Structure 1
């Protein structure tokens, strides 16, 4: 039963990965159900039962999410090109859908994004993405490494995790302005609290960019400071595909691997290094690091 359930979940995960990589392509019921090798006559119900949102709405939100990020990133791509890449036949259709979801026109959002309606609009999408199916990890997936210290620029998030997406967008804009691409400067997340603390205001995490010893860190008015991820022994667990929610992997390290290993934790929070394997950060991997004595 467990093996069959894991296989089912893996097929559903394959669907999300396919959608992420083909937002500008054909994502109708026939195409998407075929990716998971499920019957098209039942797949729309399976998808909604698993993720809590219909396939059509999920795809629309995924496309609007990518489009809104492109509008906000300051790269200069035209609204027409963004609309076509988002799967809309005309800029007018895109503008209507955009305004309906975010209470702003695409051009207004590009000039001055209003993130509050943006967050509300993506509530169903983020909830669907957070329903990462249980993943089975094994001890042989964990390696112990001696990690070198890393100088980093730290962009802090404090407060309700529901607002983390806004911090992430500000972080991306800052690192682009600073010329620190994920291709040239490594990316880290450090978690100082659990993912869902009893009081959401207590949530604390940090988005970090690895920088060379001689590289200048310009805060540019943002909440950015210089810091260091210390070196030392770490238990490392690599997660591929959807890395939106790394809590199952972290829980495996804490609950299962650590007690059986005989190791002791060092006084530094669990953190991860993120790897972007394709353009637009659509394909990712993450290595969780549990610092050890």
Structure 2
């Protein structure tokens, strides 16, 4: 029974990975059921039973998620190009579907996204992906590294996590203007509070980009700082990097007490190594660092 269940989950995971890689292609029922090696007459019911949404709705959601990222975080693509990438023949049809999903037109979302509505709209997608992508970590997944100190520019986010998307937008715009792209300058997130503190006002993280260039005088958006060097327990996460909390909690709650190690006086932090939607979502990679004495 256990082997059969693993095999079933593996086949469904292949479907999700295939959809991630072929969002621009023809993802009809014949194709995706063939990837899973299931009969197309039963596959749509099996998919819905496993993930809580139909395969058609899942594909629409993940295409809309990519489109929203392209609108909010990139300015190289026009709304028309993004509409075509999302599988729509005309921008008007895309705009109607986008507004119905997120409560804003694509152009309004690009200018000022309502992230609270966005999170609510994509809740079914996050829930569906978590069915198979919830990772169980083990001590062998953790490595200990001597990490060099890294000078960084820091943009702080303090307050309601629902507004974090707006801070990320400003951070991306700032690093573009400063010519600090992710390919040459590492990206870090320092978590200074819980992911869901009792009061949203207490939520606190730092968005950081590795650089030793001086901060321009009068630049109130960022400040200079450092990711300190030293020993760290490191846990790599592949795929579900939208939520690194399970990895952080594993390091704190399970690995650290059993390891005999002692945490250093610096918050747990993450480094983004590859980014969605630059790579398919299941190929996104991040490392989570727990500083040690």
Q: So what's the TM-score if we normalise by structure 2?
A: 0.83
Return 47-56 or 227-236, whichever deviates more: 47-56
**TM-score under structure 1 normalisation?**
0.83
Mapped to 1, the partners of 2:83 and 2:64 lie a distance apart of 9
In structure 2, what is the Cα distance between the partners aligned to 1:44 and 1:287?
35
Query: How many Å separate the matches in 2 of 1:70 and 1:136?
Result: 31
Alignment partner, residue 252 of structure 2 = 254
Give the match for residue 24 of structure 2. Answer: 24
Unpaired runs of 5+ residues, structure 2, are: none
Stretch deviating more after TM superposition (196-205 or 68-77): 68-77
Q: Equivalent residue for 1:105?
A: 105
Deviations for 1:186-229, whole angstroms, at most 9, x for unmatched residues?
11111122222233332222221111x2x233599664222111
Question: Equivalent residue for 2:207?
Answer: 207
Aligned to 1:269: 267
Paired with 2:61 and 2:266, the residues of 1 have a C-alpha distance of: 37
Alignment of 1:3-152 (within 5 A): 8-9=8-9, 11-73=11-73, 75-115=75-115, 117-129=117-129, 133-152=133-152
Contact 1:189 1:207 in 2 (8 A): yes
- For residues 114-263 of structure 1, the aligned pairs below 5 Å read 114-115=114-115, 117-129=117-129, 133-211=133-211, 213=212, 215-218=213-216, 223-263=221-261
Look up the SS of the partner of 1:256 in the other structure: helix
1:52 and 1:158, CA in 2 relative to 1: closer, same or farther beyond 3 A?
farther
Structure 1 SS opposite 2:254: helix
Q: CA deviation at 1:117?
A: 4.2
Equivalent-residue separation in structure 2 for 1:185 and 1:254 (angstroms) = 28
Report the Cα distance in structure 2 between the residues aligned to 1:271 and 1:196, rounded to whole angstroms. Answer: 16
User: Greater shift after overlay, 281-290 or 23-32?
Assistant: 23-32
1:250 Cα shift? 2.1
| C-alpha distance after superposition, 1:236-258 (max 9, x if no partner) | 11122222222222232223322
RMSD: 3.1
- Please, which moves more after superposition, 259-268 or 47-56? 47-56
- Number of corresponding residues: 291
Query: Residues 224 and 16 from structure 1, CA distance in 2 versus in 1: closer, same or farther, beyond 3 angstroms?
Result: farther
Partner of 1:289 in structure 2? Answer: 289
Counterpart-to-counterpart distance in 2, 1:4 and 1:161: 40
Give how far 1:232 is off: 0.6
